[in-house]
Amino acid sequence: MPNQYVASDTRTGLEVQVTGTFPEDPDDRVRIARTTNLFTRLMGTVLSTESDSDRRDRFRAIETQLEVAEALVRGDFAEVQRLVRETMHQMGVTEDQLREVEQQLREQMSRMGQDLPPGLGLFGGTTEDAPPDDTPDPRYPDDPPPAPKG
């Protein structure tokens, strides 16, 4: 028989229901409840955003962070790199700037007596892999292209 946990956001009336086979461990059940409550509050906050464009931006930010979290939990570090790099590009950070940040991190780590493997590629990929700045996000095909930077 499936278990169920329901969380409500009192500000917005949003209700989220999680149904499934939950582990018996009480600590796991507490984590399920806390995570569901947090997600519900987060969604309530976004849904209460009056500006349509701000609300969409907040949804995208949450989606990306959840995608990063899910990739981290799976141990898919290439996907984590791709998502972080994509986020940085959407924020207007160029490939050259990413390489500079990576170099600075390597130098700082070296000063602390630690080395990063040369091929690590903290932000993953190369300039050739980077989408042009005006490429729409495939997850949101109806959105207009981003405004030019600068």
Instruction: Give the pLDDT of residue 107.
Output: 86
The structure's pTM equals 0.66
Distance (Å) of CA 71 to CA 68, 79, 92, 112, 134: 5, 6, 23, 29, 26
pLDDT tens column, 74-122:
999 899 989 988 888 888 999 899 888 888 888 888 888 887 665 556 6
pLDDT tens column, 48-57:
999 999 999 9
DSSP string, 100-112: HHHHHHHHHHHHT
